[in-house]
Amino acid sequence: MSSMKSTPTRATLPPSTAGNASAGGLTCSILSLYDLPFADQPISIAMSVCGKIVSSGPPSARHKDRNSFKFNGDGANTLSIAGVKLSDLYKSKATFTVQYRNSSQNIFTTLSLNTLKVRETTWLILNLPSARGSDEEQPTIRIQIRLDGPYRPEIQAVLNLGKVWLGVVDQAEGALAPIASKLPHPKYLLVPAVPVLTAILVVSPVLVGVLIMGLPFFLPLLVATLAIFLAGTGVLGLLYASTSKGREQLSSYILTPTLNTMLSTPSGQALVYETGPRPTPVSIAKLVLPTDMWGRLCISLIIDGIGSSSYLLPVVGEAFDIGWAPIQTILIMAMYDETTPNLKYVSFIEEILPFTDVVPSATIGWVAQFGPGLISSNSGKMGNGLASGTATPLSTSMTPLNTPATGISPTTVRR
pLDDT at residue 396 in the model? 39
- Asked if the structure places residue 108 within a domain, the reply is yes
Banded pLDDT at 401 (limits 50, 70, 90): very low
Least confident of 163-167, 309-313, 328-332: 309-313
Residue 81 in domain: yes
**Domain count for the chain:** 2
Output 239 or 16, whichever has higher pLDDT: 239
**What pLDDT shows up at residue 252?**
84
Q: Of 81, 116, 150, which residue constitutes the final position of a domain?
A: 150
Q: What is the mean pLDDT of the chain?
A: 82
Residue 412 has pLDDT above 50, yes or no: no
Is the residue at 6 inside a domain?
A: no
pLDDT for the residue numbered 213 = 80
Residue-level pLDDT at 101: 94
Grade residue 329 by pLDDT with cuts at 50, 70 and 90. Answer: very high
Question: Which of 108, 129, 150 is the C-terminal boundary of a domain?
Answer: 150
Could you tell me which residue, 5 or 148, shows the higher pLDDT? 148
What average pLDDT does this structure show over 365-393?
A: 69
Which residue range is the domain that position 343 belongs to?
A: 283-371
Amino acid at 188: Y
Cβ(299)–Cβ(362) under 8 Å?
A: yes
pLDDT tens-digit readout, 220-262: 788 788 889 999 999 999 999 999 888 888 888 888 888 888 8
Q: What is the pLDDT of residue 377?
A: 78
Query: pLDDT of 271-297, one tens digit each?
Result: 999 998 888 899 889 988 999 999 999
402 in a structural domain: no
For residue 63, name the pLDDT band (cuts at 50, 70, 90): confident
Q: Would 405 be classed as within a structural domain?
A: no
pLDDT > 70? residue 193: yes
Q: Is 299 contained in some domain?
A: yes
The pTM of this model reads 0.66
**Residue 284 confidence (pLDDT):** 87
* pLDDT score at 314: 67
| pLDDT tier, 133 (very low <50, low <70, confident <90, very high otherwise) | low
In a domain, 128, yes or no: yes
The answer to the question of residue 2 being in a domain is no
> Taking 60 as the threshold, does the pLDDT of residue 411 lie above it?
no
Which of 150, 166, 185 delimits the end of a domain?
150
pLDDT in tens, 154-180: 999 999 999 999 999 999 988 888 887
Q: Cβ of 254: how many Cβ atoms within 10 Å?
A: 11
- Asked whether the predicted pLDDT for residue 390 surpasses 80, the reply is no
CATH of the domain at 110: 2.60.40.150
- pLDDT at position 151 is 93
